[in-house]
Structure 1
Amino acid sequence: MFNEKINDELSLRLLETRDAAVVFNLVDQSRDYLRRWLGWVDDTKTVQDTEKFIQITMEGFSARRSLNAAILYKGQIVGIAGYNEFDWTNKIAYIGYWMGEGYQGKGIMTNAVRFLTRYAIDELELNRVDIRAAVQNKKSRAIAERLGFTEEGRLRQAEYLYDRYVDHVIYGMLATDWKERSL
């Protein structure tokens, strides 16, 4: 089980089926905001769609392919963050995250991603953590930059979002870089 306290106000825990209605409502309340950068928003039409997503994340965790956690701020689910994928052969974790619009600007996501980076390197003993974000997604990119990730490249037309292609920026953090920063 994954249930980690980050600080007095913030924790991460595995998503559970019982979270479906809360997560769906969070998506629904922030639909226009999330839709700018997340291609799955229009496919999330009902609580049952969210239940299916949670079931997939639970299967991914059991198979050690991924780990998606609810972000709890003051005990309330405010978003999701985790490892969209593990590459155990090459020791890489790919971090993904989103949060409801009303919770921006409190340092929640920066602290969650900092924790996930540390956990991947120190606990899972991975060598690399990647974050990808659309070039124009300044808030997502700012998290990687704030945490000292290195901008490593750009993937042209990496994702189709509803009516357009967007380029992605790839950020990487190596275990050696993280450990040097943590001294």
Structure 2
Amino acid sequence: MQNVSLRPITVEDATSVQLYASDARLAATCNVPYPYPSNGGQVFVERCIHARESRQRFPHAILLDGQFVGVIGLNLPDFTNLTAEVDYWLAVPFWGQGIMTQAVGLVAGVAFKELGFCRLFSGCWSKNPASCRVLEKNGFTEISSIVNDGHFGQKFAGETIRRFTLSYDEWQRHMTTA
């Protein structure tokens, strides 16, 4: 198993975000724009830092042996219903190595144990089955699929989104059997 860890996004991540988010292959799988703006990495990390400080989102850097390789966040936190949305991307050179599966497990632990959420949601484009498998390997259950009417970005208008959920109790059961 690889040494995968998470930490809050920092200003030092801007260069890596810029490099990896500029890859057209990544943009084809998620809502990262392409072409990526020339100052996109800097703007992204500044927004992440502000969002964390204001508790609007909880973005994390995914690290492999201490090296930045992607982003995973707990977005749309609802502190009344204790829910959040898990969103993520992984740099193309690191695809297919099990890194994101570990990162989703780690962020679920942060959500449930540190932030006190009771339920997580996530989604992936049906044309990205690897992303859906990451969720399933972490105990998420598919609850629906919807066609993007443009609400989730024009880039993927007309594409199907598979929606998943994971409760704290389901996560605990999954952790004991994994």
- TM-score under structure 1 length normalisation: 0.87
Match of 1:85 in 2: 76
Distance 2:16 2:73 in 1: 18
Distance 1:135 1:120 in 2: 25
Q: Which residue of 12, 18, 21 maps to 1:18?
A: 12
Deviation at 1:155, TM superposition (A): 1.7
Gaps of 5+ in 1: 1-6
For the residue of structure 1 that corresponds to 2:43, the secondary structure is: helix
Distance 1:67 1:166 in 2: 27
Match of 1:3 in 2: none
Alignment of 1:1-183 (within 5 A): 9-28=3-22, 31-42=23-34, 44-46=36-38, 48-158=39-149, 159-162=152-155, 164-183=157-176
Q: Is the 8 A contact 2:122 2:165 kept in 1?
A: yes
- Check 1:109–1:131 CA distance in 2 against 1; reply closer, same or farther (3 A cut): same
- Check 1:51–1:164 CA distance in 2 against 1; reply closer, same or farther (3 A cut): same
Q: Is the 8 A contact 1:70 1:81 kept in 2?
A: yes
Considering fraction of residues, name the structure with more strand.
Answer: 1
Count of paired positions: 174
Distance 1:56 1:68 in 2: 10
Gaps of 5+ in 2: none
- Check 1:76–1:135 CA distance in 2 against 1; reply closer, same or farther (3 A cut): same
- Check 1:148–1:8 CA distance in 2 against 1; reply closer, same or farther (3 A cut): closer
Residues 164-183 of structure 1 deviation map (CA, whole Å, 9 limit, x = unaligned) = 43121110001121122233
Tell which deviates more after alignment, 156-165 or 50-59: 156-165
Backbone CA RMSD of aligned residues:
1.8
Q: Percent identity over the alignment?
A: 25
Match of 1:4 in 2: none
The residue identity in structure 1 corresponding to 2:41 is T
Residues 32-75 of structure 1 deviation map (CA, whole Å, 9 limit, x = unaligned) = 211212233226221x2221111111111011111111111122
- TM-score under structure 2 length normalisation: 0.89
